[in-house]
Amino acid sequence: MLWPGTLPTQRVSRGDGPVRVLPARPTEGLPALADTHTDAFVIAHDGVVLASGGVLDQPQALFSIAKSVVGCVAAILVSHGRLSLDALVTSYVPELAGSGYAGATVRHVLDMRSGVRFVEDYSDPESDVRRLDQWLADKHPLYEFLTELEAEAPHGSRFLYRSAESDVLGWVCERAGETSMAQLVSELVWAPMGAEHDAEFLTDARGTAVHDGGLAATALDVARFGLFLLDAPKWLRRAWAVDAATRTDFLASPAASSFPGGWYRNQFWFRAGPSGNVLLCLGIHGQMLYVGRRTRTVCVKLSSWPDAQHPAYLQDTLRTFDAIAPRPRSSIL
């Protein structure tokens, strides 16, 4: 996704509430992050920062970590009775009635299980995700692009990672929440989690947030988001235990080779780790939030990979965080 300096931005206010304090207790012997173009990192256990480094107090592009924040907004709206996962997306956004999203439910787009054709190939300048980049760069409205997408498979018949699903979900949330995504994130996530700094959302020329990858925030506030997820209510806990069909469809997807035994739910990745399943929020060019529920571990790595995707760097980072997560409490505190 285009970022930074290419389009306008909107402020995501942290509100006027207290900042969540992140006590630090530097710990010796933690595995070092490899030379993978790291800009900032944070490693925390039970809310205590064991190690951190890089540029920690400057907002950085999170790319598709934004999807998980939007997924959070959707889940909270559901918990407040303002959004129904079983409703058709067209019941909130009638403008999609003539598109491939006709007949898709909110749950379908939340889990990236619609049948809409959208090719997410960052290396191909003719792929849909790159066409969307150019569409926004040419100052066209984001939502108009979504109305032109077509279906190629029955809704709910597959999992396929596509940024357009997150943009449709964001549109639905704005209609259900009756305000902008920047305001929704501020009220439902950023202020409640105790962010220290405002975040910002990249927008199209009309001021619509780029829901699929337009958020920028500091590394420490990303860590606070991870702690917010660690203590999340039932809506996220249910995503940790999915049905067999969800796992089977994930296994048939291109993502299965990177996350064996994993699945995708609520705009979050889940991966089988050596100390239990972990939740991941991922963005291109090396952005990662790693949340180990069993080990109470939250790790953040913000990067500037020269390529959008780099499987070796991804796996190296996961191995590093896995090596940290299983350490017994007595040895790291």
Using CA atoms, how far residue 182 sits from 36, 65, 107, 216, in Å, is 31, 15, 22, 12
The band of 328, judged by pLDDT with boundaries at 50, 70 and 90, is very low
The active-site residue, picked from 52, 64, 180, 186, is 64
Q: Does position 64 have pLDDT exceeding 50, yes or no? A: yes
Q: Name the pTM for this structure.
A: 0.95
> Quick check: helix, strand or coil at residue 68?
helix
Mean predicted confidence (pLDDT) in 23-46: 86
- Whether 304 sits among the annotated catalytic residues: the reply is no
% of the chain with per-residue pLDDT over 90: 84
Compute the residue count for the chain. 333
Q: Does position 333 have pLDDT exceeding 60, yes or no? A: no
Look at 97-106, 135-144, 227-236 and tell me which has the smallest mean pLDDT: 227-236
The band of 235, judged by pLDDT with boundaries at 50, 70 and 90, is confident
Using CA atoms, how far residue 161 sits from 119, 186, 200, 265, 288, in Å, is 9, 26, 24, 11, 16
For the chain, counts of helices (H) and of strands (E): 12, 11
Tell whether the torsion through CA atoms of 212, 217, 221 and 223 is positive or negative. positive
